[in-house]
Every structure is written in C-alpha cells, then in structure tokens.
A and B are shown apart, each in its own frame.
Chain A
Amino acid sequence: DAKTTQPTSMDCAEGRAANLPCNHSTISGNEYVYWYRQIHSQGPQYIIHGLKNNETNEMASLIITEDRKSSTLILPHATLRDTAVYYCIVTLDDKIIFGKGTRLHILP
C-alpha cells in the first residue's frame, strides 16, 4: 500500500501556481519523497525528488516540512499541459508504489 495521502482532485487556473499537498506522516529517516505525474494515456513522468531540503528544477519545486511528515509540489505557472494525475511517493529503494494520486485540472 502507498504510504502517502493526497487529495483526490484539485483545480488550478492557468498561469497560477499549482500547490499539490502530500501527507507522509510515517516516513522514515532515509526515505526519499518523489513526485511523478501521468498525463492521459502516457507513461508516468518523473518530476522531482528530495530527502530533507527543498528542491527546485526546471519543472517544479518541492517543499518538505522540517519534520518531513508532509510535502508540497509547486508548479509555478501551470499550463493546460500540466493537467495530469500527480503521484507523491515515499521510498528508499527502487520500487515505486503508486497510490491513487491527485488529479490536477488546469482551468483555462
């Protein structure tokens, strides 16, 4: 079973920042937080990952709370192409356990 809790769905206006929360209260000290997304009918796509510090790349930012029990994925300027299911995953090895994710709708 997935070790994370995410809202089932969210809406965000195009051009605004999309903030996707994830709860992982049982995370252990050496487990990473990963985010993937799946755009309709495509394979999942890696977005970002982190351990303790906040991370940023060309796609998104990842904010991890100090106690590491929750995190937020931020898409700074959401576009229609960001409509997808976003998965928050906690793991210390290679096995990705996908949960139900958050279905993000970007509204024009």
Chain B
Amino acid sequence: EAGVTQFPSHSVIEKGQTVTLRCDPISGHDNLYWYRRVMGKEIKFLLHFVKESKQDESGMPNNRFLAERTGGTYSTLKVQPAELEDSGVYFCASSRNFRSSYEQYFGPGTRLTVT
C-alpha cells in the first residue's frame, strides 16, 4: 500500500508569489489533514477534510491560505500571496474512517521557503 505522498518536496518562492502544495492520501482514506511546522516551533494543525468537506479549518492562519479537496481524493493547499512567515514544512496526513481510527499516516512534507 502506497503511503501519503506530497509534491513538491521543496519549493522556494519569492514573497508575493503563489505556491500550491499537493497531497495524495492513502487510497480509501476519507480523512485528510494539513499541518505545518514553522522554524523553531511545534507542528501545528491547519485543517481537516472528511472526503471533500472541510470538517475543521480552525488552524488556518489567514485568508491567504486556501485548501481544497475536490472529489474527495487528493488535496491542494494554496498560499497566495506568500509571506516570509509562511516558510516552514507542510505536512499532510490521512486516516481511514471518521471516528473509527485516529491513526494518522503522515507524508514526508513539503519544505516551503519564502524569500
């Protein structure tokens, strides 16, 4: 079984540009989560999809961040326009069924650098 994959693994962009991160969850996993770690800080929850619906987006920092999961499969996280403080590692995770398994499987992360 393939794990959670994320693309790209690294992205370097200039302040003000747009970047889109992609996450492919494990096949059959209804739940998809985004987290991020900014330099020197703890890993923070961003949001949670159940299939294509946003279940919890309480961790999204501001309206420059837009997450989508069309069709309930892969998800994208767009940052527009990017700011310096958005630099960090963005992790995606997936789990099987809502409230039946809380074991989340994480991808390797996308390292975003905003210059």
Q: Is A81 an interface residue (CB 8 A)?
A: no
Q: Is the CB of A94 within 8 A of B106?
A: no
At the interface, is chain A mostly helix, strand, loop or mixed?
Answer: loop
Q: Can you list 30 A-B pairs with a CB-CB distance of less than 8 A?
A: A2-B42, A32-B102, A34-B102, A38-B43, A42-B108, A43-B91, A43-B107, A44-B43, A44-B91, A44-B93, A44-B104, A46-B103, A46-B104, A46-B105, A49-B102, A49-B103, A93-B102, A94-B48, A94-B95, A94-B99, A94-B102, A95-B45, A95-B48, A95-B56, A95-B58, A95-B59, A96-B33, A96-B45, A98-B42, A98-B44
- Choose among A42, A91, A94, A100 the residue that contacts B33 (Cβ–Cβ < 8 A): A94
Closest 4 CB pairs of A and B: A43-B106, A98-B43, A46-B103, A44-B106
> Within the complex, what minimum Cβ distance (angstroms) separates A56 from chain B?
15
Give residues 62-115 of B contacting A (CB, 8 Å). Answer: 91, 93, 95, 98-99, 102-109
Q: Is the CB of A94 within 8 A of B55?
A: yes
Q: Is B21 an interface residue (CB 8 A)?
A: no
> Within the complex, what minimum Cβ distance (angstroms) separates B16 from chain A?
28
The CA-CA distance from A93 to B56 in the complex, in Å, is 11
Known contacts A32-B102, A34-B102; decide if A99 and B42 are in contact (CB<8 Å).
yes
Q: Is A97 an interface residue (CB 8 A)?
A: yes
The CA-CA distance from A59 to B108 in the complex, in Å, is 20
